Structure 1
């Protein structure tokens, strides 16, 4: 009961943070970011499908229906799974990947990110001789 109440409060607060105008309605474009802010991991395809179902805006009740959908959400994956994925690009086998290659992977393969999203993601990461330690990168991202 207490956990449900805590979760309800967290959902309400997150929705309110995105409701900058205080109208009780959010533009459909904020749906993916709102879900991710609550620890969900929808793909871009899932977000687009959900956006198609809500019209131009959605309210808190509709958001709760989406958040608590019957088929649930896929887990984000474990650090080891992501590290194994990056190992494919680690030609030297030293735990590092080129910063340019990492950018390419994130913007061109799988669930594509924008250059701006990658810039934000890479803020604060040490680049040594054009290389990023992908073990540290993965653990840091998943800890956020």
Structure 2
């Protein structure tokens, strides 16, 4: 990759020390920045700053990189665990607000949560008789064993308030609407 000054920037790294950038000033020494340029998300900077402050439990102006996924999700983003792992692997162990904001405003953003019909089509794969329901046990298996696996505690939390019929089935359209808050 080339900078505006036609200088090489190493590819494969999501973060670089600002001091290694051709645009770095003395006050930037030792700080990290995301190497991509960013567009704005729908999250207002004030809301992002407030959420960041809530995660900054020590009041240092930094959060552990291990909290990145939780903070992004708290702001309505939908990163996959693989995206979070990739971002964390190339980030410093602690992120300041400016670095976090650059992640939040990355140009490709994060995949949207999906539309109701997308979820319904996904559940239809498991609906062998076309009844519009999936067994609660089968749903738990799918969520804990396939794709980005959830813990049993996460599934329990997800299923709170979801009606389960007397024969142990869940209407998956209603379940998807519940997840999406629709």
Q: TM-score, normalised by structure 1?
A: 0.89
Equivalent residue number for residue 61 of structure 1: 98
Residue 54 of structure 1 aligns to a residue in which SS? coil
**Long gaps (5+) in structure 1:** none
Distance 2:74 2:106 in 1: 17
Residues 52-71 of structure 1: CA deviation (Å, up to 9, x unaligned): 12222111111001111122
How far, CA to CA, are the matches of 2:92 and 2:154 in structure 1?
A: 25
Partners of 1:140 and 1:14 lie apart in 2 by 24
Q: Does 1:94 align with 2:153?
A: no
Matched, 1:40 2:77: yes
| Structure 2 SS opposite 1:112 | coil
Superposed CA deviations along residues 67-124 of structure 1, whole A, max 9, x for unmatched, are 1112222222111011010011112322110111101111111222122211111111
In 2, the alpha carbon distance for the partners of 1:71 and 1:81 equals 21
Match runs of 1:69-88 below 5 Å: 69-88=106-125
Query: Structure 2: 5+ residue runs without aligned partners?
Result: 1-39
What corresponds to 2:19 in structure 1?
Answer: none
> How many pairs are equivalent?
141
Deviation of residue 131 (structure 1)? 0.9
The equivalent position to 1:135 in structure 2, one of 149, 153, 173, is 173
Q: State the alpha-carbon separation in 2 of the partners of residues 21 and 127 from structure 1.
A: 42
Question: Quick check: which one's helix share is greater?
Answer: 1
- Calculate the aligned-residue CA RMSD, in Å: 1.8
The one of 55, 69, 84 aligned to 1:18: 55
Do the aligned residues in 1 keep the contact of 2:143 with 2:149 (CA within 8 Å)? yes
Q: Look at both structures and tell me which one has the larger radius of gyration over its CA atoms.
A: 2
Q: Quick check: 2:162–2:178 contact (8 Å CA) kept in 1?
A: no
Runs of 4+ in 1 over 6 A off after TM superposition: none
